Amino acid sequence: MFDAATVFAPAQPSLGGAAAVLVAALGCGLLVGIERERRKGSGPRRAFAGLRTFALTSVMGAAAALTGVAGLMVVGALLVAALALVAYWRDRSEDPGSTTEIALLLTYLIGVLSAWSLPLAAGMAVGLTAMLAGRKSLHRFASQWLSPGEVRDGIILAALVLMALPLVPDRALWGPVLNPHVIVQLLALLLAVQSLAHLSGRLLQAREAVAFSALASGFVSSTATIATLGLAVREGRSGARLMAGGALMSCVATQMQILLVAAAVQPAWLAVLWLPALAGAALAGGWAWWMVRGAPPEPAEDAVSSPRMEGLPGPGSDRMFSLWGAGAVAALLAGIQALVHGLDLWLGQAGLIAGTLVASLADLHAALAAVFATSGSALSFADAVPVMLALTVHAGSKSVTAGLVGRWPYLRWLAPGLWAHTALCVALIGWMAS
């Protein structure tokens, strides 16, 4: 049964401990109050709460918590809330906001929290002060910097993470594969990484934007990204070195997504894969950045809008991600997991390896997800062999795609970095699995 006294009453501190709580609460109140005092104004139209009010409110909350009487803490919160409501009702300004009133009630709760956890209370006070002080910057960011499409995508991503993900059942539908929670979690990771790369690309110049667009596109399909960039070289719309640098940057996404898939499907693989994936990503990223930075400059409109990256919104779009593109990748991952699991049940280890190699020709992460899902938590070198073979076959598939689409000038720039980071990753996986 719920017991308010047990939940809200902290352990009774000593006299010195109580003094420390009151001093910390006073400091939290003063921190928030100083910021509010600077915006309080003067004269009859000034705000109702300033430095002293916030400091005393925080101390009142701490004192109420130290008594251990839950009813007293509730009465104090109601008193502060009533004071805030009266102040809001009496506000005669043209644009009466409720920020100060809500901040005052939160300051009281921070004071109460000081009796339970000083670091948490102090962190909340600092965060509240920073949010209050950044009013203009936050308003400008929300109303001017973010585009309507980015706002819509942010809402979709937040709804997926905060509402859909907790409600999806967390159980596999067929053996260890087809877990709806894992699929939605992977979809959320893909969308989040694409959004981060999109926002980073807005802050960079044209050539750097190519690299970050390719990085984001790589989380959808690195092979398709390589083909798209190679087509731009073949048609003479961009230089081979710049496009090869972007293509190699998409391989960074390949390496990082290996860790994302492992974390979502079978976290035990992270102990084997974290060093190979990070080392491979670092080598590919450094090599790609060298090629992008050293490439001849191109017109901004060509470098950014051409070619269109696979799985990302089209040129001129303000969307942060393609929901359909990321959804298709998540569905492909689930489908190939089921295929490889079926071959494993039918042919055993030989079927697992054969299915993994065939799947890696099209999508490396779908193949690896199937391997991760069918393995246990105790891993050996034999478990790592399909992963190593899949990485090698996938690199060969990318090379063939680059040669056929972009031809020799494009392949000549891409192949050394592609095979160097793949060889490093495969060698480290073998060493870690041993």
What is the residue extent of each domain of the chain? 4-142, 147-433
The pLDDT value given to residue 30: 92
**Rounded mean pLDDT of 258-275?**
86
Q: Looking at the predicted structure, is the pLDDT value of residue 305 above 60?
A: no
Q: Looking at the predicted structure, is the pLDDT value of residue 352 above 90?
A: no
Instruction: Give pLDDT tens digits for 32-91.
Output: 988 888 776 555 555 667 788 899 999 999 999 998 888 888 888 898 888 888 877 776
Q: Looking at the predicted structure, is the pLDDT value of residue 276 above 60?
A: yes
Instruction: Give pLDDT tens digits for 3-30.
Output: 544 445 555 667 777 888 999 999 999 9
Residue 430's Cβ-count burial label (10 Å; 0-12, 13-18, 19+) is middle
- 6 Cβ contact partners less than 8 Å away, ≥ 6 residues apart: none
The pLDDT value given to residue 388: 87
The pLDDT value given to residue 281: 93
Q: Looking at the predicted structure, is the pLDDT value of residue 353 above 70?
A: no
- 19 Cβ contact partners less than 8 Å away, ≥ 6 residues apart: none
Q: For all residues of the chain together, what is the average pLDDT?
A: 76
The pLDDT value given to residue 9: 52
Residues 266, 342 contacting (CB under 8 angstroms): no
Instruction: Give pLDDT tens digits for 147-170.
Output: 777 778 778 888 887 888 788 877
Residue carrying structure tokens 């041993």: 434
Q: Looking at the predicted structure, is the pLDDT value of residue 179 above 80?
A: no
- 334 Cβ contact partners less than 8 Å away, ≥ 6 residues apart: 177, 178, 183
Residues 70, 4 contacting (CB under 8 angstroms): yes
Dihedral (CA of 403, 408, 409, 412) sign: positive
Distances (CA, A) of 257 to 111, 220, 261, 265, 369: 43, 10, 6, 12, 11
Instruction: Give pLDDT tens digits for 199-222.
Output: 665 665 556 667 777 887 777 677
pTM: 0.51
Residue 423 CA to chain centroid, in angstroms? 28
- Of 219 and 175, more confident: 219
The pLDDT value given to residue 81: 85
The pLDDT value given to residue 191: 74
The pLDDT value given to residue 333: 59
Instruction: Give pLDDT tens digits for 375-403.
Output: 766 677 887 888 888 888 888 878 887 88
Residues 330, 183 contacting (CB under 8 angstroms): yes
Q: Using CA atoms, how far apart are residues 102 and 109, in angstroms rounded to an integer? A: 11
The pLDDT value given to residue 2: 41
